[in-house]
Amino acid sequence: MSYTFYLPTKVIFSDKAVDDLMAVLDKPAEPVLFITDKGLVKAGIAEPFLTQLKESGARVVLHDDVPGNPNLEDVLPAVEAGMKMGCRWVVGLGGGSVLDTAKAAGIMLSHPGVDYEDLQWGRVPVTNPPFPVVCIPTTAGTGSEVTKVTVIGDRKGFKKGLLHPFVFARTAIVDGSLMLSLPANLTAATGMDVMVHAIEAFLGKRASPFTDLYALEAIRMVRTWLPEATANGSNLEARQQMAKAATMAGIAFDQSGLGLVHAICGPLAGAYHLHHGLGVAVLLPYTLDFDAPAISPERWYALSLALDLPDSAHPGDLKNVMIMFLETLGLPTRLGEVGLKQADIQAIAEGATRMAMIGNNVRAATADDCAAILTAGL
């Protein structure tokens, strides 16, 4: 099998993201479009960056109005303000929604006069390299800082990802100290997103030796550090390890794809406005139970080592292993607890089969299979 590994993003594992940002922007900085959210401004996390930028003489357009799951209408005002000021850089400080907004803004700024919806739906090709984007994650979750996709809702709110090599950020600055104040429930849910990214990248059909390295190490790091990061959020070592794991899992899944958990989570989260990390977390045990018969002995050996399972364990144990891990993290273990209703199962299952990533899953799944997984997890 042939494969390509392409990561143009410079990744800086940092313990002082403010200083690293200033170095990346090579002073005197050109005008900067700085995208974040109100929560991070309120929590004082954005403030050191803004202060340092202003002290360096950089002109900054601040856009702090990014909601969760942003739509085009949420991004356009930032881009218009950035264009007016002649911004040459985009900085995104936040979780996946902010980073995706920053990456989309980088593309929009380099395609003036082109409707982003046309780019999003492939009616107009992406032709121009983006304005340079610096992504600074404040959650250990999506891995958006190292992926070539940005998911922004179109004008009707349909979540349509734009996937193109020009979407990659120029630089990712990964600093776990920015995550110290993330509440336990969000730490656990976003951290489980990392676990699922890594497991799906490792088990998926497009896995390669290059992505296995990142995926297996990310699995090991999440298994080791997520319980501590959740129970003791002020543990800087745990935060830094989870920050690295999230980026490594992002590298793995961007290159090798996701699988059935994410395929089902798309319509599931859409139906109930469910937090993405929570959705994939609760789906994981039941989906792995379905996948178990398709896991080869070689894959199982490597996975069981990364999960630190005893020699006697076998793939059929994955469901209970993951349920116990969720319990350790204080997360729900049944889909009914996060809103799933029996009456919706068929529609969600059919929606899952329309998600592209289902084709990368280690075991082929039909709508009936997806319905059975959802029913088992209810």
Q: What residue ranges bind Fe ion (CB under 5 A)?
A: 193
Which residue has the closest beta carbon to Fe ion? 193
Smaller CB distance to Fe ion: residue 40 or 198?
198
* CA dihedral of 335, 338, 339, 341, whole degrees rounded to 10: 0
Tell whether the torsion through CA atoms of 20, 24, 76 and 87 is positive or negative.
positive
Smaller CB distance to Fe ion: residue 24 or 258?
258
Least distance between Fe ion and beta carbon 280 (Å): 5
Smaller CB distance to Fe ion: residue 252 or 374?
252
Smaller CB distance to Fe ion: residue 193 or 369?
193
Least distance between Fe ion and beta carbon 137 (Å): 13
Cα 94 versus chain centre, distance: 12
Question: Among residues 83, 110, 78, which one has the least CA distance to residue 94?
Answer: 78
Smaller CB distance to Fe ion: residue 29 or 196?
196
Smaller CB distance to Fe ion: residue 233 or 259?
259
Give whole-number Cα distances, 276 to 30, 184, 264, 281, in Å.
35, 16, 11, 8
Least distance between Fe ion and beta carbon 197 (Å): 6
Least distance between Fe ion and beta carbon 193 (Å): 4
Paired tokens of 224: 């080791």
Q: How far apart are CA 168 and CA 204, in angstroms?
A: 22
Least distance between Fe ion and beta carbon 276 (Å): 6
Least distance between Fe ion and beta carbon 52 (Å): 31
Neighbours of 358 (CB within 10 A): 21
What is the DSSP-derived secondary structure letter of residue 59?
-
Smaller CB distance to Fe ion: residue 88 or 206?
206
CB 361 within 8 A of CB 297: no
Q: Residue 132, CB half-sphere, CA atoms under 13 Å: how many?
A: 17
Neighbours of 342 (CB within 10 A): 10
Least distance between Fe ion and beta carbon 262 (Å): 6
Paired tokens of 89: 């850089």
DSSP string, 226-270: HHHHHH-TT-HHHHHHHHHHHHHHHHHHHHH---HHHHHHHHHHH
Least distance between Fe ion and beta carbon 252 (Å): 12
Smaller CB distance to Fe ion: residue 193 or 291?
193
Q: How far apart are CA 62 and CA 186, in angstroms?
A: 25
Q: Find the radius of gyration of the CA atoms of the chain.
A: 20
